Amino acid sequence: MMKRDIIRIDEEKCNGCGLCVEACHEGALQIIDGKARLISESYCDGLGACLPECPTGAISIEQREAAEFDEAAVEKHLAAKKAAAIGHGGGCPSARAMSFAQRPAQKAQAETAPAAASELRQWPCQIKLVPVNAPFFDGAKLLVAADCTAYAYANMHSRFMKGKVTLIGCPKLDMVDYTEKLTEILKHNDIRSVDVVRMSVPCCGGLEYAVRQALIQSGKMIPWQVTVITPDGDLLED
């Protein structure tokens, strides 16, 4: 043990987006239970390459007693990660290559079902683009959905979008914390309810986190619920 610079993660601020994991060249970080974790002090060089990637400011550098940085251990760790990643397109679950066979029931339904009507009732629908004071927010039931959900879940329009104002986003691709924008929408409009539909991959937890924080910061008691969808279209929470 020695006193040295090492990262510190504020779990209250961490939204689980996973950007720091990709920024860490030593593989010292992982998303565990929806939060970024330092998996080994000996993997962290204390230089802080992950700091500028964090959209919520959850990572800082502190000086404390910690295990010495072990370059040999890092090389061994990275080699093991690389070996594990071969065949599925990478270590991050959101970028892992997967294929899904069409289920018999899905095939039969696809062949016989009539064309479904779109339930999108406003434009724009991207969180980054929508005006905070858009008139369609007045008295609205709000759906905040991850971009991929509409592709993973076949009945997205009829099951989740019908009768709601739909906002979509991806914390990983947009590289932004949506909390401030969503807080302003909730504060300045009469929102009746909030539904969050997200994917099961860890980085999608950033969307749920942003909604939770926005509800708290808005100071309003608005009913809300979260539904989680797997990449092959199953509902984990409903």
Domains in the chain with CATH codes: 2-95 (3.30.70.20), 116-237 (3.40.50)
Per-residue pLDDT reduced to its tens digit, 16-45: 888 888 889 899 998 887 789 999 999 999
Indicate the Cα dihedral angle 169, 172, 175, 180, nearest 10°: 50
Indicate the Cα dihedral angle 145, 148, 153, 159, nearest 10°: 20
DSSP secondary structure, 37-89, as one string: EE--GGG--SS-TTGGG-TT--EEEEEEEEPPP-HHHHHHHHHHHHHHHTTTT
Q: Residue 161 carries which DSSP code?
A: I
Asked whether the predicted pLDDT for residue 95 surpasses 80, the reply is: no
The residue that leads in pLDDT, 124 or 96, is 124
Per-residue pLDDT reduced to its tens digit, 184-231: 999 999 999 999 999 988 778 889 889 999 999 999 999 999 999 998
Cβ burial, residue 173 (10 Å; 0-12/13-18/19+): exposed
Percent of the chain with pLDDT over 70: 86
pTM equals: 0.65
Q: Residue 113 carries which DSSP code?
A: P
Rounded Cα distance, 155 and 27, in Å: 38
Q: Residue 143 carries which DSSP code?
A: E
Task: At 8, give phi and psi (nearest 5°).
Answer: -125, 135
